[in-house]
Copies of this chain bind each other. A is one copy, B any other.
Amino acid sequence: MSDEPALLKLLHKLESRSPLDDGDRTAILDLPHVRRSHEASAYVLRAKDRVRDRCGFVLSGLAFRQKLAAGGARQIVSLHMVGDFLDLQHLFLDRADHSVQALSRIEIVEIDRAALQDMALRRPAVGRALWIEALVEASILREWVLNVGRRDARGRIAHLLCELWVRMEAAGMEVRGGYRLPLTQEQIGDAVGLTSVHVNRTFRLLAEEGLITRDRRTVRSNDLEGLRSAAAFCPLYLHLGEAGAI
């Protein structure tokens, strides 16, 4: 339970994106850092604040990014899990343009921001890995714009479920025919631009179609193909196959 494993996880993640040499590896493992955890719904970062001098990397649990519209409407703009960076999006920006919040209890490593900036700019292999991380996140944002802008309720939710399915698998989480989704229906609505009531009805619809089954907060599917086609899900945008150089 030392914090050695924490940086190892970070190392593995980066290495999966770009080949590193020994210098890179030891530099990563030498990064000044602190382990922390947040309770569900705790803020990791608040919109409009000055960006913190530590950068979080998720070790376990889920988190999300959030923006508020006038009138208090909320939009969740991304979801994050093991192996995701929480502050890469602000690595070189000084004002937070959105909030980051824990969804469930999460554990993170906080890395010194200046040190991470330095790695990004002065260690090409690490820099490449970080670039890829940031670019993939932007790609997911584009898919979310499409999701919210051009799919109906059924497609939106099906797509969200497919995306999480694939991302969780890729992140090495336990996904065997289903997974735990610790979002309330209201939060799901905030992620896909719907009302909690309509999310509920749409879940029922998907269940009636035999595409999913639900129990508490776990979602399962015996018909993943059906779900994918309901979502018109194409995982290219997750850039999973690419290690940066093919």
Residues of A within 8 A of B (CB): 48, 65, 67, 69-71, 73-75, 77-78, 89-95, 97-98, 117, 120-122, 124, 127-128, 131-132, 134-139, 141-146, 148-151, 155, 192-193, 232, 236-237, 239, 242, 244-246
Contact = CB atoms under 8 A, between A and B. Distances in A.
Nearest to A144: B145
A138 B137 contact: yes
Given A67-B143, A93-B136, 7 more contacts: A67-B142, A89-B135, A89-B139, A92-B244, A93-B132, A98-B139, A145-B145
A90 B246 CA distance: 14
Given A135-B91, A139-B89, A145 B75 contact: yes
B242 A94 contact: yes
Interface residues of A, dominant DSSP: helix
21 contacts: A65-B142, A67-B142, A67-B146, A70-B155, A70-B232, A71-B232, A74-B150, A75-B146, A89-B135, A89-B138, A89-B139, A91-B135, A93-B135, A97-B236, A97-B237, A98-B237, A131-B131, A141-B141, A141-B142, A141-B145, A148-B149
Rank and list the top 8 A-B pairs by shortest CB-CB distance, nearest first: A149-B193, A70-B232, A121-B124, A141-B141, A75-B146, A148-B149, A97-B237, A138-B138
| Central interface residue in A75, A132, A146, A244, by most chain B CB within 10 Å | A146
